[in-house]
Amino acid sequence: MKKKLITNYIIKPRLKEKVAEVKANNPDAAKVTALLIGHNVKALADELVKAGADKVLVVDQPKLEVYDTEAYTQVLTAAINAEKPEIVLFGATTLGRDLAPRVSSRIATGLTADCTKLELLKDKERQLGMTRPAFGGNLMATIVSPDHRPQMATVRPGVMKKLPKSDDRKGEIVDFPVTLDESKMKVKLLNVVKEGGNKVDISEAKILVSGGRGVGAKQNFELLEDLAAEIGGIVSSSRAQVDAGNMPHDRQVGQTGKTVRPEVYFACGISGAIQHVAGMQDSKVIVAINKDADAPIFNVADYGLVGDLFEIVPQLTEALKN
């Protein structure tokens, strides 16, 4: 059984106490500044304050309505040079992965990409430990930047638990002027073509039915599809099934896939390798189905079913229909 059932009630108060302690001892160290870029976006600044920002810099220009790598790089560079932050964080999204390395190059600092964990190191003053998968996800490397500021990282979506918004929070909202050098903006947007198909984001799913090596061939995922359809879930998988070509990469859960926090996570035929567990261990309820009673997945499961998934899953689907 997961030990997290107890720590959920212990960590939150301690975290609040720690934040209060840091703010009391060094008010500037705990300030969070958000940068809001676009056109006609100033109304969104209040939402960032409610979400935790102490200060919001707003750069609102018609030229910034659509993402442009060079334009946004100029804005970020100007803001960092003006504010001189200790740490700069980007989401490890398509845009974040495009923008962050260019900004780090402009301001001559390092960048740790696709982080799954961030922590202030206790024995190193004002140093950020940035942890990310390395060597194909077979180990976790913690990287530090002792000599350059700001410390920069892109953070994988879903690995940080989002705190609830507070309507009572107060923050500073500032218009930040930036003069764009349009001579360096070489890309012109001609047209926007929306991607077809029913693409899903498993990191937003409330229920996931995930299949591992034990599911076997691609056609066997129909069993999981039937279960998912009955309970309003989405089918995902471990890396083994993606590597075998049975599932697309955007359905992969784990260190080299996506980090998920659904209400319910079904692990079907998944042994529980540390790389996979790292991407789903914070699910509220984990149901594991595996014929190996000693499979590591049962160490993090709330409910475990030992047996053949090809017998258990259809029975479970049928039972949920009634």
Is residue 176 located within the same domain as residue 214? no
Residues 6+ apart with CB under 8 A from 225: 235
Give the pLDDT confidence score for residue 172 in this predicted structure: 84
What CATH number corresponds to the domain at position 114?
3.40.50.620
Using CA atoms, how far apart are residues 235 and 251, in angstroms rounded to an integer? 7
In a domain, 19, yes or no: no
What is the mean pLDDT, run by run of 10 residues, along the chain of 322 residues?
33 47 56 88 86 87 88 91 88 88 90 84 76 73 82 83 80 87 83 70 88 91 91 91 90 86 92 87 90 91 91 89 70
Is residue 167 located within the same domain as residue 212? no
Q: How many folded domains does the chain comprise?
A: 2
What CATH number corresponds to the domain at position 216?
3.40.50.1220
Give the pLDDT confidence score for residue 1 in this predicted structure: 40
Q: Which of the 8 DSSP states describes residue 223?
A: H
In a domain, 1, yes or no: no
Is residue 41 located within the same domain as residue 179? yes
The DSSP element (H or E) to which 51 belongs, if any, is helix 45-51
Q: Which of the 8 DSSP states describes residue 145?
A: -
Is residue 180 located within the same domain as residue 286? no
Is the backbone of residue 137 left (phi > 0), alpha (psi -120 to 50) or beta?
A: left
Using CA atoms, how far apart are residues 2 and 288, in angstroms rounded to an integer? 12
